[in-house]
Amino acid sequence: VIQQVLSGLEAGSWYALLAMALVVIMKSTGVANFAIGDIGLLAAFVALTLTNFGMPFPVVVAGGLLCAILLGIGLEFFVMRRVPSRSHFALLLVTIAIALVLDSVIELVWGTNPTVLPAPWTNRQLDFGGEVVPWAQVISIAVGVLAAFGLARFFRTRLGAQMRAVAENPAAAQVLGVSLNRVALISWAMAAALSGAAMILLTQARILTSSSAAAVIVPAFVAAIIGGFSSLTGAFFAGLALGVLQNLAGGFISTGSKEAIALVVVLVVLLVKPRGFGGASTVREV
């Protein structure tokens, strides 16, 4: 059971990081970003390329994350803010288009063959009193926790407060001198970095393919929905819980139930608590 829970927490950390990336963008720009997984996946492929050039792992990670951040900034600056319609539905469709384009770019540049993103801790384990725990799991969980703490603290800073203000009432925030464009740019950069971290962690533990993002985007959305698309804490714990739930179901019920669990959870949450846990009431025009 312990190993199943740890494996679940590992997968849950990836979901949580991606879910928090979704929430960061939603909080500050009101967009459900369907491209977030692919932005991170591109970072993982850049990391692979740097690895193939013989770069040390810290450089590989830094390069991947930097690429994700630049991509996030570029997409916000050159695409999102230039969409004529500001309706949430239009912007959501644009993110789907971005995801499809990024998928195609990845397939064109790196192909469709599954490959491995090696990490220094690959095949290394910790022994906790006879319980073997792979380093990969420890690091995934630790990064997830650190990111959650870091984000929670960030949203208490002046800039974080500006982002929350924009999420609450963009017009009022603008009147008070907050730059909506600047906030959007920073939130896309932050979300891209979170996604990059999630996908690098995921692909070093599993495999790196052009379809790696597709495997986690649904659970990430489920976690974000449970958090009401506004609570970072809610999204974080929902991601972890979902990972554990899926793994326990896979281990003790049937593997077929794993994928269904996410959909059952979101259905239950929408029925019981439509605004999610920790979600604030918001009226949106779509």
Partner 1 sequence: MAIAITIFAVACGGSTTATTKVAQGVTKDTILVGGTVMLTGAAPVAGAGFKGGLDAAIAEINAKGGINGRKFKLNLLDNGFEAARSVANMRRLGDDDKVYAIVVPAGSAILPGSWPYVKQSGIPVWAPTLPPDPNLPSVFMMSTSHTDQAKVLVDFLKSKNVNTLGYVGQDNDLGQSLLDGVNVQVPKAGMKLVATEKTQAGSPNVAAAVNNLFKAKPDAVMIGTDNTQAGLIIKQSKALGFNPIFVGDSTTASTGSAGVTSVAGDAADGMYGSAALALPTDTIPELQNYRKAMQQYAPDQIDNAYALQSYSYMQTFFEVIKRQGSDLTWTNFTKVAESLKGVKTGLLPPVNCGPLPGGHTCTQGAKISQFTNKKWTTITPDWLQPK
Contact footprint for partner 1 (CB under 8 A) = 3-4, 7-8, 10-11, 107, 111-116, 118, 122-123, 125, 132, 134, 136, 205-207, 209, 211-212, 215, 246-251, 254-256, 258-259
Minimal distance, residue 107 CB to partner 1, in Å? 8
Report phi then psi at 44, rounded to 5. Answer: -65, -40
Write down the least CB distance from residue 95 to partner 1, Å: 23
Least Cα distance to 18 among 3, 38, 4 occurs for 38
Candidates 186, 248, 191, 196; CA nearest to 224 is 191
Q: Which helix (H) or strand (E) holds 194?
A: helix 180-205
Nearest CA to 168 out of 72, 74, 40, 283 is that of 283
Residue 210: CB minimum distance to partner 1, A: 8
Q: Which is nearer to partner 1, 124 or 273 (CB)?
A: 124
48 with 117: CB under 8 angstroms? yes
Please identify, using beta-carbon distances, which residue of 212 and 231 lies nearer to partner 1: 212
Cβ closer to partner 1: 123 or 281?
123
CB of 198 to partner 1, least distance (A): 14
Q: What angle do CA 95, 101, 102 make, to 5 degrees?
A: 90
If the CB atoms of residues 23 and 262 are measured against partner 1, the closer one turns out to be 262
Phi-psi region at 55: left, alpha or beta (left = phi > 0; alpha = psi -120 to 50): beta
Nearer to partner 1, 183 or 249 (CB): 249
Question: Cα-Cα-Cα-Cα dihedral of 63, 65, 67, 72, to 10°?
Answer: -170
* Smallest distance from partner 1 to CB 250, Å: 3
Distance CA 241, CA 8 (A): 8
95 or 212: CB nearest partner 1: 212
Least CB distance to partner 1 at residue 134 (A): 4
Nearer to partner 1, 7 or 187 (CB): 7
Element (H, E) at 247: helix 232-252
Please tell me the distance from the alpha carbon of residue 278 to that of residue 191, in angstroms, as a whole number: 20
**Closest to 117 measured CA to CA, from 212, 204, 200:** 204
Residue type at 234?
Answer: G
Q: Please, which residues have CB within 8 angstroms of residue 172's CB and are 6 or more apart in sequence?
A: 165
Shortest Å distance, C-beta 67 to partner 1:
23
| Shortest distance, position 40 Cβ to partner 1, whole Å | 15
Q: Which is nearer to partner 1, 11 or 35 (CB)?
A: 11
